[in-house]
Amino acid sequence: MYTIDDPEVAGTDLSPMFGTTFRQQRLMDAHHPGQASWVWLVDTTEGPYIVRTSRFNEPPLDEDFWQGAWRLFGANPVRFHGMIWADRVLRQSSPIPLPQILRQEVYQNRPYLIMEYLPGFMLESFTHLSKEGLRAFGKALATIHAMGSTLDSREGEALSFHARTQSVMAYLVDRFYSTERACRDLWVEIAAHVKNLPHEDFLSPILLDMDPSQFLTDGRVITALVDTELYVMAPRHLELIGLEYLLDATAAGPFREGYEAVLPMPQLIPVRHTYRFLLRLLSFQGSVAWDRWMNQPILF
């Protein structure tokens, strides 16, 4: 089993995949610890390309995030299911450009994606966007959320979402947090509450690992979304509650204006406590103290 730090994979010569057009390759820096893919910028006589391959050959058994993502959403870091799905289903309609998957290859017994290169530089924080950029981001996210009502029928999955969530949260608490008293105390409260959460009419495409590092910018607005590995179908509330950790009060205003130009902001109060707990179980933004995490300022 290869690991996320396998130097042999990092040093793979990609030139055979491009033949005589190949010029050079550069392994791009990981944007965050535990990043699921190796990513290269490949320069050819035909122009630049992005090449990706997974750092894993099976869902990691010792990471809370990947175990939760796999058990609740079937997200598998090996096969690029989310990225391939986003290319096929979302790319044509998303207001935010997504890079096209140009081809898939198996090279040295490993799957690779050869993708379109999109210009821009990595966004460091959503709060660095202009007001115009934040409104556009909110509008784009609402447009993507609205697609959930027109995709394949997922009524059964929507109705069963909270039951599945309860089961997965129970597993994560016992598997990763059994010695953390603050977590177990919260779980006693939430386990009783989750059974009565309202059901959603449909699930929406959301980024389970939403983070500014997945986006490119020109310094004012978002110009591309380049890391779609973890697009899953879930209540849009989950993504919006996650954004409360990534925005501040100043940025939340124009974001909401843009969002509500497309969709009403959903009622988050009934699910906020449970979804915050779920996100912390997944280490959404790392190992934050439980009381601090659960008492994050409410923005929506």
3-class secondary structure, 252: helix
Length of the chain in terms of residues written: 300
Q: What is the pLDDT of residues 199-227, one digit of tens each?
A: 877 899 999 999 999 999 999 999 999 99
CATH number at residue 27: 3.30.200
Over range 97-106, report the average pLDDT. Answer: 96
- pLDDT at position 156 over 70: no
Is the domain of 42 the same as that of 102? yes
Is the domain of 93 the same as that of 127? no
Is the domain of 108 the same as that of 156? no
Which residues make beta-bridge pairs with 47? 44
Looking at residue 158, its pLDDT comes to 76
Our CA dihedral for 181, 187, 190, 194, rounded to 10 degrees, sits at: 170
Q: What is the separation of C-alpha 188 from the centre of its chain, rounded to a whole number of angstroms?
A: 28
Q: How far apart are CA 32 and CA 54, in angstroms?
A: 15
Q: Which of 64, 82, 116 is the last residue of a domain?
A: 116
DSSP string covering 101-142: EEEEEEETTEEEEEEE----EE---GGGS-HHHHHHHHHHHH
Q: Which of 116, 146, 165 is the last residue of a domain?
A: 116
Is the domain of 17 the same as that of 133? no
Looking at residue 39, its pLDDT comes to 93
Nearest to 96 by CA among 52, 53, 54, 126: 126
Domain limits for position 186: 121-294
Looking at residue 4, its pLDDT comes to 65
Q: What is the pLDDT of residues 31-89, one digit of tens each?
A: 666 678 899 999 999 999 999 998 887 777 788 999 999 999 988 888 888 899 999 99
The position carrying tokens 């059994």 is: 178
Which residues make beta-bridge pairs with 48? 43
- Phi, psi torsion values for 191, nearest 5 degrees: -60, -35
Looking at residue 196, its pLDDT comes to 87
Asked whether residue 11 is assigned to any structural domain, the reply reads: yes
How far the first Cα of the chain sits from its last, in Å, is 43
Nearest to 228 by CA among 93, 30, 36: 36
Q: Which of 57, 86, 116 is the last residue of a domain?
A: 116
Is the domain of 90 the same as that of 217? no
